[in-house]
Amino acid sequence: MQIGNKTVTLKMSAAFVAKLALLTALAFALYMAKFNLPFMFPGFLEMQFSELPALLAGFSMGPVAGVLVVVLKCVIKLPLTSTAFVGELTDMLLGVVFVLPAAIIYRLKKDKKHALIGLVSGTLLATAAAVLVNRYISVPFYTEYYVDGNFDAIVGMCSVIYPNATQDTFYAFYLGLGVVPFNLLRYIIMSLLTFLLYKRLSKILHWEGESLRRKLSGEYESGSEEETYALAKRIADTLKGGEIILLEGELGAGKTTFTKGLAKALGVTEEVTSPTFTLMNVYEDGRLPLCHLDMYRLEGEDDAEELGLFDTVPENAVKVIEWNKFSDLTGRVIDVKISVDGEHDRVFTVADSAERAKKSLPSEGGGDSKQITV
């Protein structure tokens, strides 16, 4: 599936299936835990928050995963239906309308701003869809199926909440004072819970079947210099010499802060400064030599070669490169992309070529995972 300039890819690994199953089970449990607010809304409007796990799946595993959780929890509920499947199919439709746009917008850029835009968009679209579904599907169906077409009975069921409602004005009362505020309340609560819980559950939601302590590739959120230093140390602990770390991020994103943390973790005692004007700084008093190169002012890799920047750099030096212009890098390359998320928060996306190479090797039993592009 193409979203903007990104391709949504489903990784059908054991970890993906395990997370999908767990979130679907949680969604089903929340789906069954319905309750009414009879003092505010008609009794047949049942409050439930089963789309919350679907949102978590959509944000962490992609839009398709979020939709699957919505569909699967409704399918599991079908044998227990008391509405001739109409209630479950309605909940499935509204759940997809809520989760899918939120997950797609967040997928385009994973920061708090796009998470908020996605959640607001999903809330508004799903509430609008709920109005249409109740007006043209749910109420007409219940009128025919449960009260043999007696619309006065439906009006009577809501008389406590809407005493002035008549056949002619029922939909104005029910949709305007019932369906719209009810669904806005429900979707806003789930959006707030998602916004509050997603960061705290990020490591679990992004688990790929390997030890969280050993695996390097993935997304990391930092709200302080200390957290950035902790990530840099985690990377430094895996370095043996000769690795290349590519830093990507806008000006002020925190590339120099990350490098300072890396230098500290390697035991460098010299003051680490940005090489914007010097092009390259080399620190040799740590566990491994550290070379910090800024290629922003270079036209290309030929300039680096003409200047002989690496001629005096120790062979086992760890090379940290900002604004990389090298086209052919060999050995272990660690990509670190830094996204700005507010004044202090940063999202680090780490991709380790060593882990990618390891995953590409065929397993002895032919492997238990495959990659499907949809």
- What integer pLDDT is reported at residue 374 of this predicted model? 29
Residue 70 has pLDDT above 70, yes or no: yes
| Rounded Cα–Cα distance for residues 35 and 43 (Å) | 9
Average pLDDT over residues 258-263: 95
Q: Report whether 167 contacts 174 (CB < 8 A).
A: no
Give this prediction's pTM: 0.61
- What integer pLDDT is reported at residue 365 of this predicted model? 41
Average pLDDT over residues 171-196: 95
- What integer pLDDT is reported at residue 209 of this predicted model? 60
Residue 6 has pLDDT above 50, yes or no: no
Domains detected in the chain? 2-203 (1.10.1760.20), 213-373 (3.40.50.300)
| Tokens 């090379």, located at residue | 319
- pLDDT-derived band at 359, boundaries 50, 70, 90: low
Kind of pairing between the strands at 244-248 and 2-3: unpaired
Average pLDDT over residues 55-70: 95
Q: Which residue has the higher pLDDT, 92 or 357?
A: 92
Tally of residues, the chain: 374
- Burial status of residue 119 (CB atoms within 10 A of its CB: 0-12, 13-18, 19 or more): buried
* CA 255 remoteness from chain centre: 23
Kind of pairing between the strands at 35-36 and 46-47: antiparallel
Average pLDDT over residues 285-290: 92
User: What are the pLDDT digits (tens) for 100-126?
Assistant: 999 999 988 888 889 999 999 999 999
Q: Report whether 238 contacts 273 (CB < 8 A).
A: no
| Tokens 């806005």, located at residue | 184
Residue 12 has pLDDT above 90, yes or no: no
User: What are the pLDDT digits (tens) for 290-346?
Assistant: 999 998 888 888 887 788 877 888 889 999 999 998 888 889 999 999 998 877 789
The pair of three-digit structure tokens given for residue 338, joined into one six-digit string: 């830094």
- What integer pLDDT is reported at residue 157 of this predicted model? 87
DSSP assignment letter at 40: T
At CA 352, angle to CA 57 and CA 13, rounded to 5?
40
Q: Which residue has the higher pLDDT, 344 or 279?
A: 279
Residue 32 has pLDDT above 50, yes or no: yes
- What integer pLDDT is reported at residue 371 of this predicted model? 35
- pLDDT-derived band at 361, boundaries 50, 70, 90: very low
- pLDDT-derived band at 181, boundaries 50, 70, 90: very high
Residue 88 has pLDDT above 70, yes or no: yes
User: How crowded is the C-beta side of 144, counted as CA atoms within 13 Å?
Assistant: 7
| Rounded Cα–Cα distance for residues 160 and 180 (Å) | 18
* CA 325 remoteness from chain centre: 30
Computed over every residue of the chain, the mean pLDDT equals 86
Phi, psi of 19 (to 5 degrees): -65, -40
Q: Report whether 113 contacts 67 (CB < 8 A).
A: no
- What integer pLDDT is reported at residue 357 of this predicted model? 63
- pLDDT-derived band at 210, boundaries 50, 70, 90: low
| Rounded Cα–Cα distance for residues 59 and 56 (Å) | 5
